[in-house]
Amino acid sequence: MSGWAAIFNNTNFALTVQSEALARFQEQIASGQRVIRASDDPGAAHRIMYLKAFARNLESYERNLGTVESNLEQVTSCLTAVTESLSLAREKLTRAVNGTFSAQQRAGFAGEIETAIQMILMVANRKHAGQYLFGGSKISTVPYVATYDSAGRVVSVTYNGGTQDLPVPVAPGVEYSGVVVAEDMFKLDNPTGVVFLGQTGAAAGTGTSTIEGDVSLEVSRETVYGDTGGTNVAEGDSADTSDTIRGDHTLTIDTNAKTIKLDDGTAVSYDGVPSPTDFMIQNASGDVAYVDVSNITPDIGTVDVTITGRGLLSIDGGLSTHQTDYTDTNLAVSHSQTGLMLYVNTTGITQCGTEPVNKALPYDMFVDLIAIRDNLLNSDGALSVAEQNEELVDGLNRLEGLLSAVTNGEITVGSKLQAVGATIRYMLEDLSASSLQESSQLQDLDLTEAVVQLARTQTLYEMILASSSRLLNLSLLDYI
């Protein structure tokens, strides 16, 4: 036995320890949390604070996402309205072009075109949540400003919006714009995109082609012989169609031994060959040339002859051709009659043939619609019916391009909306849920365990009180 005072010390100490434990359990149970402050579990606290801050960050991204999504929904809705208006305009125009209508009836069509113009103007100037949707980053500026004639018809429309969109952070490292640059969709001044649709291997050059619509690019070739050195060697019958050499090559003719070789290929005998006017020779790389060896002058020694394989391109049906040694990245091929230009990259040409090429027509939404309306009106009678029809057909072609652009724009915005609304939103929700779940696992209290511990500690506390009371009451003085 360690002494009466020791009993007192132990009682005091144990009661202090257990009462502190009881207070701690009570705090945990009341809050439902195991980790309330950093000192409860510093490592877990650091992680919990990070996860909760991350979840809050994700909430701000979600709010931005909501803004972008809301804007894009409006943009989609607006583009649908524009498409409908343009479709209506096209319908009217098609009827006007195809049918026989009086001036008054055409004026009626013009009125409907004007309605479409006003409608599109209103839609293009749509404002949502304080932001103009179609002016790019200039969200405080009315994108389109119109001037009107005395009859209230739109005379001109000027774009005052921005040329860049407004990328907004919607997820960590991800930005999307909820506004669009309408001019990118409603106007195409200098269409640069030339599409090559054939199999020759020709591609667009770096220059700005001026062709419009559909054009056929004729790709052919020829083999040109330089100084033959008196050998009289010439191109074979099928050289133009079957030679595969590109650029300069060397024919080495040994007129004494009657052999011929192409570049570093094997020298072959041309004496007594079955088709001397169309003799095929090949170099080590596999390039082929067809040669006419029927008239080669014998016994004049060994002669080197330079032959050049080059391409010939034409967009005017062969009226003019343009040569290439297949190293041109920006060969200018012009139309001899119209002066229009097509820039071609010839480095990938592998075969001859006809290459269909298309370049979109330029268009300008409001300019084209106003022009169509004015043509229908023909208010000063300046145009004859034939001239009017011709202008209207041109307008119809431009309208087609416009409709296609707006439809493509609708699809682009729609896919963006899909990405924003589904993929990114799902990702944010998933990240947020997993963060909160992990922080909950780290922080939340196991209530069952806590209650059991509390009961145990409480029992221990009572036992300490009871035992110390019993022990401290015993004394020899009671028996003296």
Contacts of another protein in 135-164 (CB under 8 A): 136-141, 162-164
Q: CB-wise, 139 or 245, nearer to another protein?
A: 139
Token pair listed for 305 = 């002859």
The 28-57 contact track toward another protein, x by CB under 8 A, reads -------xxxxxxxxx-xx-xxx-xx--xx
Where do we find the tokens 């309208």?
399
Distance in Å, CB of 81 to another protein, minimum: 24
Site string for another protein, 426-445 (x = CB under 8 A): -----------------x--
Collapsing DSSP to helix, strand or coil, 416 comes out as: helix
140 vs 354 by CB, closer to another protein: 140
For position 174 contacting another protein by CB under 8 A, the verdict is no
Site for another protein in 438-477 (CB under 8 A): 443, 475-477
CB 195 to another protein: min, Å = 17
The whole-angstrom separation of Cα 259 and Cα 240 is: 23
Q: Please answer whether residues 428 and 171 qualify as being in contact, where contact means their C-beta atoms are separated by less than 8 angstroms.
A: yes
- Measured over the CA atoms of residue 70, residue 71, residue 72 and residue 76, the dihedral's sign is positive
For residue 338, give both structure tokens.
């119209």
Question: Is position 131 an interface residue for another protein (rule: CB under 8 A)?
Answer: yes
State the amino acid at position 158 in one-letter form: T
| Whether 286 contacts 264, CB under 8 Å | no
Options 5-13, 246-254, 273-281, 320-328: segment touching another protein (CB under 8 A) = 5-13
Q: Which is nearer to another protein, 141 or 354 (CB)?
A: 141
Name the nearest CA neighbour of 345 among 355, 336, 337. Answer: 355
Complex with another protein: residue 52 or 310, whichever CB lies closer: 52
C-alpha separations of 124 from 85, 153, 186 in Å? 12, 17, 10
Stretch of 88-96, 126-134, 255-263, 292-300 contacting another protein, by CB under 8 A: 126-134
Compute CA 205 distance to the chain's CA centroid, rounded to the nearest angstrom.
21
Q: Which stretch binds another protein (CB under 8 A): 199-207, 244-252, 318-326, 395-403?
A: 199-207
Question: Which of 19, 63, 256, 433 forms a contact with another protein (CB under 8 A)?
Answer: 63
Stretch that binds another protein, among 168-176, 258-266, 379-387, 451-459 (CB under 8 A): 168-176
**Inter-residue contact 363 to 217 (CB < 8 Å):** no
First to last CA, the chain: 22
Confirm or reject binding of residue 190 to another protein (CB under 8 A): yes
Q: Does 85 bind another protein (CB under 8 A)?
A: no
CB of 179 to another protein, least distance (A): 10
Between residue 245 and residue 284, which ones bind another protein under the rule CB under 8 A? none
Contacts of the segment 96-101: beta carbons below 8 A, 24+ positions apart:
96/376, 96/392, 97/389, 97/392, 97/393, 97/396
Distance between alpha carbon 27 and the CA centroid of its chain, in Å? 56
Whose Cβ is closer to another protein: residue 37's or residue 456's?
Answer: 37
Binding residues among 317-336 for another protein as defined by CB under 8 A = 330, 332
Considering only 1-9, 75-83, 313-321, 421-429, which stretch makes contact with another protein by CB under 8 A? 1-9
Contacts of 26 (CB under 8 A, 6+ apart): 454
Is the C-alpha dihedral spanning 401, 402, 405, 407 positive or negative? negative
Closest CA to 51 of 35, 65, 67: 35
Give the residue with the Cβ less far from another protein, 70 or 238.
70
**Distance separating alpha carbons of residues 319 and 66, to the nearest angstrom:** 60
Which residues in this chain contact another protein in the complex, by CB under 8 A? 2-6, 9-10, 13, 16-17, 35-43, 45-46, 48-50, 52-53, 56-57, 59-61, 63-64, 67-68, 129-131, 136-141, 162-164, 166-169, 172, 175, 178, 190, 192, 205-209, 330, 332, 341, 343, 443, 475-477, 480
